[in-house]
Every structure is written in C-alpha cells, then in structure tokens.
Structure 1
C-alpha cells in the first residue's frame, strides 16, 4: 500500500487538472457537447458539495492556529478539500447546462471556481507570510459562504437564507380590488411552481416568475389554452397521478391542495385572463364564490370616524346610520317610509359627510330635491335612487363625486335627454338603469360614452330564447339507511322538472315528471332537468345517493392497493364514508398494476340481492371505469361465477365525477362473494396518455 508521502505529490499535481477543467467548462462549456453519461456525473453535484465545504472551513481554522502540527493537518485537509472542490465544481458546471440560467447561476458558478482557485493558491503559498495566509483564507471562507448562498437561491428561491428573519407583511385585499391572476392564481404558482421555473432554473424552458414567460409557454407548448381544460398543459400536469414522471409539482415537492387545484382549473375554464378583476366575474360563477370567501369585503378607510353622538343623533325611525362593517369609520345611510320623508333632513347628514360611503334613497320622492348637497360627500361610493322620480338635470349634480362607483337609477323615466348627464359620469364602475325608458339608440350612445362602466339596462327577452337554470336537488345525506326524501325545486315555479333515478339523461317527453317529494329506498343516480315554454331546457343536475348496505362478517383483499392511495385499507370499503371528488383526499383505494380483488364473508342467512361499487371517474388523471368486473358467489360446495356485464368505457375527458356500478345477485343462498375489478390495461388513442395503464378508484361496496 503506497505511503501518504507518495500520494501527496500526485494529489498536488492533480489540483491543476481540476482547476484547468473548471476554467474550460466555465469559459467554453456552452460550445461543448456533453454525453449523457457525463450528465449523470453532473447530477452528483448536490451529493458532493457538502464535503468540500466542511473540509475547507476546517482547514482554514487549523491554518490560523500557531501550532505547527495543527497547521500541517490543516494543509492536508486543504489538499483533500481542494480535490473534492474540484470534483464538485466540475460536476456543477456540467449540471448547469440542464435548464439553469440567470444572475444567480453566474455568481454561484464563478464563486465556486474562485473557491477552487483560492484553495489551490493557499495550499502552495501558505508558508509565504502570515499576512498572506490570513487574508487569503478569509477570502476563501467568504467565497464558500457566498457560493452556498447563491446555490441556495437557485434551489430554494430568492433570498432563501434570510427569509425566516425578515418581516413579511400579509397583504389584505378587498374583494373589489382583487384580481383573479394576481391575487388568486399567482400566489399558488409562487408557492408550488416557481422554484423550478424561474431565473436561474428554467425546467422545460418555461419561466413562471414573470408574465411574459407564462404567456410564451415552454418547449412543450402553451402554458394554458383559455377555456380548454383538456389541452392546457398546466391542467394536464397537475391532474396526473402523483407517481407519473410529468406530474406537477414533482412528488418530492409540496403538493397542491384541493382548493388550489380548484382555483387553477376554474381560472383556465373561465378564460385564464391575466388582468381580470374578481368583481368582473358573475356572482354565480364558482370562481367568484370561492374568491368571495378568500378576500375581504371590508375595505380599509383612512379617514377619521364620526363621533358616536353624531351617529346616534342621526338615527331615528325613518333613517338608519351604521358603519359599513363593525369597527369601520365608513358609514352607510338608508331612508325608510316614503310618506314620512322630509327633504330638509338631508342637510342633517353634513356633520358626517366625510365618513358616508353609501346612501340608499330608494323610493323617496326626490323630483323636487336639490341634489347639489351631495357635493359635500367626498368619499361617497354608492348611491341608490331607484324609483325616486329624478330628472336629467338632477343627475348632472353627480359629476363632481369623484369616488362614486355604483349608481342605481332603476324605475325612473329618464328619456334621451338624460344621456348627456349620464355620459359625464366617467368614474362609475356600475350603472343600473332598469325600466328607465331609454330607447335602443340612447342605450348604445351611453355604452360608447362609458366604455369602462358595466351598465345594466335590465332584461329584454324579445326574440331570444334563454336556457333555464338547472333544478336544485335537496336531500339529507349521500349515504342513507332505509329510505330518504328527495326534493326537487326550481326558481321558476311554472317550469316542469323531469328526472331519472337510473343515471339516464332526462328528456321532455318520456322521463318522469316531478310532482312532489320522491322517496328512494335503494342506491340511485338521480339526474334532473327543467323545461318551460319559450325557454331552452336547463343543463342536467345530478347526484349519486347510496343506501347503506348490510355489513359483512369479514373481508379480505387479495392485492394491496397502490401505496399512494390506501385510505384505511379494506375497512374503507364498508365504513359508510363517501369519498370526495379529489382522488388524493385519503378516502379512496386506488389500483393500477393489480386488480381490486376482495373476498367478502357474509353473516348467516343474509344473502344480499344487489351489489354496488362506488367509483371515481377523472379521465384527466387517468382514472377510468374498470376494464372488467367479475363476481362470484360461494358456499361450502364452491364458487359460482355470475355472467359478466360488458363495461362501458369513457369516450372523452370529462369533469371529475362519481360513478356507480350495480349488479344483481342470484336468488339462491350463498355465504360469500368474490369481486375482481380490473383497471383498464391501455388508455384509448384519444387520451394524452394513450397506451398507458389506467386506474380504478373505489371507496364503498354496498350490499343490499
């Protein structure tokens, strides 16, 4: 075995090999063709980088000590540390060619090379002078720290080191100011995606740390396609099974929550706008409803509150003055009782004019009232004067209200002469003019004059056939015991509701007509539609309801479910707990590489008449109906296989939904049941994952 003294010269000469190779890769690496095998070497960079850091810093500490023996040990540590630094730097320079770029990469790269160069320089000139040694080793320690800092920024995000000690202010956003992308979507991308798609690290040539990068897309195409969930790369990737190579975020990273998944999908479905405000969404859109729970309706105001005595003095039976929300300095005022209205009482409001942001004068007789008093309300945002008899001349008094955003003038016969006065209200965001007597030409003129204002002229159904809203299905719970009442309703009472209980699509001729509460006594897949004269039939609304079945004596799975989707094992199939539409919720058993095969042992004299499987369907996540379902009944004499029912497969990617597979069982007595549910072995050609294996997800087996 060679002595250390013989190895030292070899190691010393090898230092220049690492330094030279590092310089070549730094200066000319982009012109070199790196073989795949060498790329594997590059990916060892994270594995090796900690060793040289420790060795070099230990060497620096020992070289500062006056003791010769310790200095000698420090020199040997420096030699070995420099070699490991060379390996780490070279591996890092190779790795840098894989989707890394930007200022952080440049600093990390050259500081790493500088650390290697300093280590070599210190080793050969360490005995030159004490001053040189102290300055050079201090520089080496600083270079190592800075190299690690920029490396952490590349891997974990900007300013990773100091983030825990820096103050972070949570932005409170009012609903009216919130933007769909900036305040709903972008925070999700920053938390779960940008670490791998930012300056310095651009996987798949997709940058997500600025708007231009998102709009450009990556090497696999557009990031999102507005309104198209099937073709949008974002939606495809986040819905892939967790162990799929292209699933995003990668399985070793923090995963999207159920709410985050819903936000991203609703954003793409609604058109994936990058500048739309939440307030511009329709109030019945799911994305608006989700945002309304996330953002505050409580706008922050900076003016001082009015005195309690002033507010109390203004309140009486016909006028109410209240904060817009508890603790707010902003006030809203509402008048009641047309016959008791006194126009002179409006002057009383001047004492709180700075704090008033909303005034409700609906149905008050204002035709002869001078509205110039409103000029004393600098912060007025909303004014309601529906059915008040106001004229175009009075409307001109509102032009000076710079903060006025919402104006309601429904039920006032305004006529064409009011268009000029209304056209001057450029500050408005919403204008309500129902039953205002405006002709079509006046309406069009007003739309052109106020292009940024949402103007609501009310409903005009001339020559237009609209679709009905879907009916509402009300029930107590998804899993019921003996029977349960279903109530169907529709806001238009003259609408006819047609329904089915077997999952078939209702029509206006042959389906059952709803006339009163429905009592169901077995598992049912209810679908309902509304129909009415001069209306288009509504979209279908549906629910899957299960009658709780008999409990078996025992049961045993032949194959374990996939380790990612085990729920509570076989117990989950008989616990009466219905899974959510998110397959990662922990309520589902998932099978891919093996069938779901289970033996069920029944209580004595309890032969069921029907077997139902509750399944999940989500073609976008590779979750399909089973390829086949085989059922046996058995007793002491053996097993008897039931005739197979052909399985109906999906023909396109649809929304996530529940499914049920029901099978009649023989009238003869039996003591046990065996079920084998086989996942689809090859996804169809129309699917993005054509040829791959599919999944089945089951959460309940119901025996009735």
Structure 2
C-alpha cells in the first residue's frame, strides 16, 4: 500500500511540472505552434475546472478547523486535498491557456486568464507557506476563495454571457415598441442574432473573427467574408451559413445549438434582400413586402378577430393600381384598405368595398379628394377600428357621419377644417383611443374643450410653431415610368398643402430662392434627375427627394462587350443595356451587369442618320456591397480608323457608405463625326481607407446605356 508521504512527494514534484508548463505557455503566447492533439486538452478545460474548485475550497476549510495543529491525521487529509487541488488547478490553467488560442479574445478573457493564474499561484504559495501564523493563513485562504469565485464568474461570462449569473433576478419586463418606431435590424433581426448566434461571436469568444454583439463587428464581417451584402445572397456570409445542411460543419448555428425557425430564416433572408440596412424603420417597407408582413405582427398586438375571412378571390379583385386590400397580418381575417394616387381616385370604386364590409378594420383615404362624397357607406363597416381621412376636404356633414361610427378607436382628420358643430359631434366620440386633429383651425379654447370632453382619448393637436423648428417631410415625386419613349409627366406633392416645393431637373440641389417653384405637373422629353425640397415658414427645409427619368432615345444597330461581365452578375449580357427595363437597386443579381476584374468596354454602331450626341449611363452605387462609382469613364469615337477621345469623367470616390441607389451619368459628345463609339467604365482598383475592406477591388454595376440627340 502506498504511503501518504509518497503521495505527497509525487504531488509536490508534479506541481513543479505544471508551474514550468504554465510559465512557458504564458510567456511564449501565440509564438507557440501547438499540435492538434493538444487542442483536445485545451477543450477539456470546462470539464477539468470543477475538480480544483471543489478540492481547493474543501482544503481551505481545513485551515479553519479549531485546534487542527493538535490533530495531525485530520490536518494531513486537508493538506493532501489542498495539494491535489493545486495540481488540478495547474492542469486546468494549462488547458485554459491552450483553449484561449482558439479565437477567444476580449476583456472578459483577460480577467478570466489572469484570475486563473492568480488562483494557481495563490494556492501554490499557500501550500508551501502553510506553516506560518494561523491568522495570516486564514486571511490568505479567504482571499484565495474570493479569487476562485471571481474567476469562475468570469468564466461563466465567457461561456453563457456577462449577465448569466444575475439573469434570474433581473427584470423580465419587455418594452412595448410602437410599429411606427420599430427598426428592422434593432427590433426584428438583432433579437434573432442575440438568441441564436451571439453566444459564439461576442466579446471574449469571436469565432471566425466575426463579432456579432455590436453593429461595427457585423459591418466588418469575418475572416471568411462580409456578414451581409445588400441584396446579395451569394456573398452574404449569414445567408450562406444558415442555409447549409445541418450536418455541415460550417452550418450555423452549430447542430448542437438551438436552430433557427422557418420564420426566423425567412426574416433574415428578407432583411438581406431588402437592403440589409442597420437603421431603416420597418414602416418604410411597402405593406406587401414579406418582411413587413412577418415582422409587423410583433408590434401590432396580434388582436384576435372572430369574424369570417373574406373570399380570397374577392380580395384579389379589389387590389388595383390605386387601391390596396390586404390582411392586417398573415392569416388574419381583418383587412387593411388604403387608397393612393390622387389623379387615379375614383369615388365610385368605394362601393366595391361592400364585398369586404365585414372584414375591413383599417381604412386610409389620406389626401383623396372627398369633397361632396357621401360617406354613409362607412356605416356598413361594422368592425372598422381605424379611419385615416387626413387632408381630404371634409365638410361638417361628412364629419357628422364620421362621428357616428361607434366602432372607431383611431380617427385621423388632420388638415380638415373643424367648425363648432363638428367639434361638438367629435366631442361625443367617447370610444376613441386616439384622435389626430392638427392643422384643423382649432383655437386654444376649442382644444381645451375637446380635451375635457374626451379625457380618456389621446389627442394629437400637432405642431404649434412656438419656439421649436421642425424639419419638413420630403416631397413625394410621382412618375409612371423611369424609362419612357415620348414624354413623361412628373408630379410632386406634400402632405402640408401650404408648403412651397422647389425643384431642379439637372441633378443639382434646389434652393429656396432661384430654383423653380412647383405648381403643376412637369412634362419632360429629356433624360435627367429631379430633386425636390419643401420649404415653409417656421419649419426647416426638408431633405431632398430625388428620382431619375430616362428618355429611351434610340438603340444601336450593333453592340458588343470586349469583356464579359462577372458570371454572377451577367443578367442578359449586352442586351441588358438596351432593354429599357430599369433594375431595382437592392437586387444586384437580377438586371445589372457587374464588372470588377475587367472594365466594361462597350462598342456600339448606329445607322448613319441616328448618331447620338448625348450618352446617359445608369449606374448602381452601394458602398457597403463594394459597388462604387467608376474610377474613370471615357467615350471614344472611331474616326478614319483611329479612336479619338470625345468625353471623359472621373467621378469622386464616395466618402461614406450609403443605401443602394441608382445614379445617372450624362455625357455630351459634341458634334463629332464618328463611325463607332467605345464606352469604357473602369472599376475602382482599391476601396478607400474608410471602408472596412480597404484595398479590395471595387465593383461597377450598369443596367442601361441611353443614347439621345
């Protein structure tokens, strides 16, 4: 039988081995190249750490037993337990130092690493100096116990998150966010990433060099590529990994972790398809957008309606170019009806809605010309809860009908004149939860009166212009087409009718003095870019709204590309440039030609009588997806067998990333006589220093080349 003294000797000598190995790994750091089998030892760190914790704490208790000096047998058990704990602490520290080289970084790791080393050093010193004064030993044992607890806490933070320990006693109240304020990323996408991804990609544990616990880390991407590229599924690391088979080692989340639901997969995919914005509001998406329909449910309260759903065919028939009829959220029988386009409004079309009168819950007729229209049909909508009638020229009789709708909870009638009789009728609507009546001509006394009559209603009287200057909303630019053949009508509107709208047609910023004032629809036969701003007294001018308009001109008789576009972005080849179909900015791979390694070199010929003097090139800019303005654009004409430079342009390199957008470059050729044209667009050879992937090649994306005289 092995004597206790022999066990003690073996453990003491072994202890020095762990001390030596710890010093080597700590001092050598990343300079060491460890064999793969040692990684297995490193990954056993979470298993090993329980042994030293138990043995050390048990050994420390023996230092507190009264009169232990007079009980050598008990003291020896305590010392052997403590010595064994010191050995396991050494093994655990070595395993942890090896594991720390596997993509673990950050402040928590630093605290955990040096805390573990402090525990190991502390227990070694306490063991070899255990014969000094009892009071000093007991004080040291308390300090060591606290170090063990702190180190364990930091380790739990690395594995489970910083708030793991205190999570059970923290509040679990969920902040209710209104739909109007909800952000696509912050309120819809980020919670999915927090639940399914961040545990492996956060402070202290950054697998694949991808950090997902803050936006900058997501924008930077990982060692395998960008986290997301707007509209680009093939190059977005997120979409690649979540769609791999679950057995694939690169599939995310790993198969031993909670997997994404079908709805979560769809939300992440639709987020990338919609532009992968980190600050876009959910309400800016079209109501029919699948991401909007999926995500908005979260912020709508999901009220359950017991009435029967309308006939799907009837709903399809009611959806037109000027009217939208759709469920409040997927699978709901409740319907949301909206009219848009003042010029297309047909009062008779209101009677069509009788087919769905029992299902309409929300109804928006904002800015529709309702003057003189009988609104009694609204009484047929027995479940109508929200009615939007802003800026519709309502009279007192129409407002009286509206005030008799007993099911209403939300009413918006801003921009209509409210007289005394209308005010009295509105004051009887005790069932209203919200009432919007700004810009209705009410006096301070009128406001006080209706507020007193409806104490439980949230009433919005709007902006009073006293001491605070707000920024106007941007004007709304409407045009039937972006590429047209003969002439194009462009109209501009603003919800505040008194606002002055100024515009330009040459792509320059309008001002409040020299730019033309919009008063009636604009007709154009040219190619250009309209920018419009709104101005009003006591308001800040709006941001500019802009839209491109392209006269289709005439097509070349022959065309060819010297270099093929990238296979991922080839659309229909050279024919794409002359199909008069404008591509959608977020969908890079649909109708855009993409060039990166080679320039776009386009050669075109024309019939003798159809030689253009103006060339317009439709480009896509999306800096986050590496799509920049060309570094240089040249147009050459073939004259007498030689290419002569007719026009050139070197656009400014973008100074920051902006959402995906279409830009139009116009170039004048003068009166040169040429046989053929050669248009060359050279991609940016090196992304600017501010870009997360500075130094990489840029892309040039083109969808249309237009020729006019």
Using the size of structure 2 for normalisation, the TM-score is 0.50
Pick from 435, 444, 448 the counterpart of residue 436 of structure 1.
448
Q: 2:632: which partner in 1?
A: 628
Q: Deviation of residue 455 (structure 1)?
A: 5.2
Q: Write the distance in 2 (CA, Å) between the matches of 1:626 and 1:695.
A: 8
String of CA shifts for 1:327-366, please: whole Å, max 9, x gaps. 669999xxxxxxxxxxxxxxxxxxxxxx98969999779x
Q: Write the distance in 1 (CA, Å) between the matches of 2:497 and 2:443.
A: 34
Q: Deviation of residue 591 (structure 1)?
A: 0.8
Structure 1 residue 239 corresponds to structure 2 residue 275: no
Q: Deviation of residue 701 (structure 1)?
A: 0.9
CA RMSD of aligned residues (A): 5.9
Q: Deviation of residue 539 (structure 1)?
A: 1.4
Q: Write the distance in 2 (CA, Å) between the matches of 1:37 and 1:675.
A: 56
Q: Deviation of residue 558 (structure 1)?
A: 1.2
Secondary structure of the 2:227 match is helix
Q: Write the distance in 2 (CA, Å) between the matches of 1:330 and 1:649.
A: 49
Give the conservation status (yes or no) of the 8 Å contact 1:595–1:678. Answer: yes
Q: 1:525: which partner in 2?
A: 529
Give the conservation status (yes or no) of the 8 Å contact 2:580–2:704. Answer: yes
Q: Deviation of residue 623 (structure 1)?
A: 0.8
Q: Deviation of residue 620 (structure 1)?
A: 1.3
With 665-674 and 179-188 compared, the bigger mean Cα shift is at 179-188
Is the alpha carbon distance of 1:685 and 1:187 closer, same or farther for their aligned partners in structure 2, counting shifts above 3 Å? closer
String of CA shifts for 1:107-143, please: whole Å, max 9, x gaps. xxxxxxxxxxxxxxxxxxxxxxxxxxxxxxxxxxxxx
- Correspondence list, 1:587-598, <5 A: 587-598=591-602
Q: 1:504: which partner in 2?
A: 508
Structure 1 residue 224 corresponds to structure 2 residue 211: no
Give the conservation status (yes or no) of the 8 Å contact 1:362–1:388. Answer: no
Structure 1 residue 610 corresponds to structure 2 residue 614: yes
Q: Write the distance in 2 (CA, Å) between the matches of 1:415 and 1:551.
A: 62
- Correspondence list, 1:182-581, <5 A: 186=188, 197=197, 202=200, 220=211, 222-224=213-215, 237-239=227-229, 247-250=237-240, 253=243, 259-261=270-272, 265=276, 268-270=279-281, 285-286=284-285, 293=293, 299-301=303-305, 382=409, 387-388=423-424, 406=433, 408=435, 435-437=447-449, 456-581=460-585
Q: 1:691: which partner in 2?
A: 695
Q: Deviation of residue 609 (structure 1)?
A: 0.5
Is the alpha carbon distance of 1:464 and 1:186 closer, same or farther for their aligned partners in structure 2, counting shifts above 3 Å? closer
Is the alpha carbon distance of 1:304 and 1:522 closer, same or farther for their aligned partners in structure 2, counting shifts above 3 Å? closer
Give the conservation status (yes or no) of the 8 Å contact 1:240–1:622. Answer: no
Q: Deviation of residue 547 (structure 1)?
A: 0.9
Is the alpha carbon distance of 1:469 and 1:240 closer, same or farther for their aligned partners in structure 2, counting shifts above 3 Å? closer
Using the size of structure 1 for normalisation, the TM-score is 0.50
Give the conservation status (yes or no) of the 8 Å contact 1:567–1:588. Answer: yes
Aligned length in residues: 445
Q: Deviation of residue 218 (structure 1)?
A: 8.9
Is the alpha carbon distance of 1:230 and 1:522 closer, same or farther for their aligned partners in structure 2, counting shifts above 3 Å? farther
Q: Write the distance in 1 (CA, Å) between the matches of 2:361 and 2:634.
A: 68
Give the conservation status (yes or no) of the 8 Å contact 1:303–1:329. Answer: no
Q: 1:339: which partner in 2?
A: none
Unaligned runs of 5+ in 1: 1-29, 43-93, 101-174, 208-212, 271-277, 279-283, 306-321, 333-354, 366-376, 399-403, 417-432
Q: Write the distance in 2 (CA, Å) between the matches of 1:241 and 1:356.
A: 39
Q: Deviation of residue 577 (structure 1)?
A: 1.0
Give the conservation status (yes or no) of the 8 Å contact 1:386–1:410. Answer: no
Q: Deviation of residue 95 (structure 1)?
A: 13
Is the alpha carbon distance of 1:358 and 1:598 closer, same or farther for their aligned partners in structure 2, counting shifts above 3 Å? closer
Q: Write the distance in 1 (CA, Å) between the matches of 2:184 and 2:647.
A: 56
Q: Deviation of residue 571 (structure 1)?
A: 1.0
Secondary structure of the 2:489 match is strand
Give the conservation status (yes or no) of the 8 Å contact 1:615–1:660. Answer: yes
String of CA shifts for 1:60-116, please: whole Å, max 9, x gaps. xxxxxxxxxxxxxxxxxxxxxxxxxxxxxxxxxx9999789xxxxxxxxxxxxxxxx
Q: 1:667: which partner in 2?
A: 671
String of CA shifts for 1:472-515, please: whole Å, max 9, x gaps. 22222100113222223334444332211111111112223334
Q: Write the distance in 2 (CA, Å) between the matches of 1:488 and 1:672.
A: 40
Q: 1:345: which partner in 2?
A: none
Give the conservation status (yes or no) of the 8 Å contact 1:524–1:545. Answer: yes
Give the conservation status (yes or no) of the 8 Å contact 2:211–2:218. Answer: no
Give the conservation status (yes or no) of the 8 Å contact 2:201–2:210. Answer: no
Q: 2:662: which partner in 1?
A: 658
Q: Deviation of residue 658 (structure 1)?
A: 0.8
Is the alpha carbon distance of 1:269 and 1:330 closer, same or farther for their aligned partners in structure 2, counting shifts above 3 Å? closer
With 486-495 and 497-506 compared, the bigger mean Cα shift is at 486-495
Give the conservation status (yes or no) of the 8 Å contact 1:501–1:524. Answer: yes
Is the alpha carbon distance of 1:576 and 1:540 closer, same or farther for their aligned partners in structure 2, counting shifts above 3 Å? same
String of CA shifts for 1:649-704, please: whole Å, max 9, x gaps. 21111222111122112413222111221101111112222111111100011111
Q: Write the distance in 2 (CA, Å) between the matches of 1:544 and 1:388.
A: 48
Is the alpha carbon distance of 1:655 and 1:177 closer, same or farther for their aligned partners in structure 2, counting shifts above 3 Å? closer
Is the alpha carbon distance of 1:688 and 1:667 closer, same or farther for their aligned partners in structure 2, counting shifts above 3 Å? same
Is the alpha carbon distance of 1:259 and 1:549 closer, same or farther for their aligned partners in structure 2, counting shifts above 3 Å? farther
Secondary structure of the 1:387 match is helix
With 613-622 and 578-587 compared, the bigger mean Cα shift is at 578-587
Is the alpha carbon distance of 1:534 and 1:569 closer, same or farther for their aligned partners in structure 2, counting shifts above 3 Å? same
Unaligned runs of 5+ in 2: 1-24, 41-97, 105-176, 245-264, 310-352, 364-381, 388-396, 412-420
Q: 1:429: which partner in 2?
A: none
Is the alpha carbon distance of 1:503 and 1:586 closer, same or farther for their aligned partners in structure 2, counting shifts above 3 Å? same
Structure 1 residue 642 corresponds to structure 2 residue 654: no
Give the conservation status (yes or no) of the 8 Å contact 1:359–1:382. Answer: yes
Q: Write the distance in 2 (CA, Å) between the matches of 1:652 and 1:567.
A: 28
Is the alpha carbon distance of 1:638 and 1:581 closer, same or farther for their aligned partners in structure 2, counting shifts above 3 Å? same
- Correspondence list, 1:77-92, <5 A: none
Is the alpha carbon distance of 1:561 and 1:390 closer, same or farther for their aligned partners in structure 2, counting shifts above 3 Å? closer
- Correspondence list, 1:135-146, <5 A: none
String of CA shifts for 1:597-619, please: whole Å, max 9, x gaps. 12112223322111111100111
Is the alpha carbon distance of 1:680 and 1:520 closer, same or farther for their aligned partners in structure 2, counting shifts above 3 Å? same
Give the conservation status (yes or no) of the 8 Å contact 2:226–2:236. Answer: no
Q: Write the distance in 1 (CA, Å) between the matches of 2:495 and 2:184.
A: 36
Give the conservation status (yes or no) of the 8 Å contact 1:633–1:672. Answer: yes
Give the conservation status (yes or no) of the 8 Å contact 2:471–2:542. Answer: yes
Secondary structure of the 2:615 match is strand
Q: Write the distance in 2 (CA, Å) between the matches of 1:470 and 1:263.
A: 22
Secondary structure of the 1:634 match is strand
Give the conservation status (yes or no) of the 8 Å contact 1:496–1:514. Answer: yes
Q: Write the distance in 2 (CA, Å) between the matches of 1:483 and 1:362.
A: 40
Is the alpha carbon distance of 1:623 and 1:179 closer, same or farther for their aligned partners in structure 2, counting shifts above 3 Å? closer
